[in-house]
Amino acid sequence: MPPRLLKSMPWCRSSLDLLRTTLAEAVAWCEARARDQDPRASLRGLPDPVDVEELGLLGLSPANLVWKTSSRRFQALKAAGLEAPLIECGNLPGRLLVFAPDEETADGGAELQSGGFFDVHNTPPWDTWVGYFDDLHEDPTGPVVRSYLLAYVPAVFVSRVADGIAANPEQCIQWLEDSDTSLAALLARAPT
């Protein structure tokens, strides 16, 4: 049985419009800032989504962090007078990546092979974050909820990120189209 989308930020069950808007903003922001020689820092330019004073607040879930990052990116684009023209998910300059934070083992291999695009926990830079999703999977032991982050990888980093994915034994980072996620299936069925 294919996975079923339980919840997402942005909401995608009835329409992909919010996802397309958030993705367009991520593409505009990231493509303008990605520097081939600086994969570690060039896409960590927005304020860190976890401020020290917010660490103790209740409700600071991964989906909240993604929403906060998306909001900051929107405000930064607006302040710079930059537009984010809508773009179809299948026609991107770069690629889409999924990261399952509950499945990572912090081995550092992806960080090393990607030149620091990923951190030691295999997390992609926060400027690239597009959405956060919870899927319901059926496995032999019963229903399992799998959560994952959707990130945009600018064209200049696709090769480095592919090297990071190859070095990741637990497969907590994958190209979206290679993943067993409801989002991959949803986008494959979506009209372009």
pLDDT tens digits, residue range 94-151?
999 999 999 988 889 999 999 999 999 999 999 999 999 999 999 889 999 999 999 9
For the chain, give every domain's residue range.
4-189
Determine the pLDDT at residue 192: 57
Residue 14 has pLDDT above 70, yes or no: yes
Determine the pLDDT at residue 46: 79
Buried b (16+ CB within 10 A) or exposed e, 128-146: bbbbbbbbebeeeeeeeeb
pLDDT in tens, 16-63: 899 999 999 999 999 999 999 999 999 998 776 655 444 444 456 888
Determine the pLDDT at residue 91: 86
Determine the pLDDT at residue 74: 94
Cα angle: 70, vertex 48, 177; to 5 degrees = 50
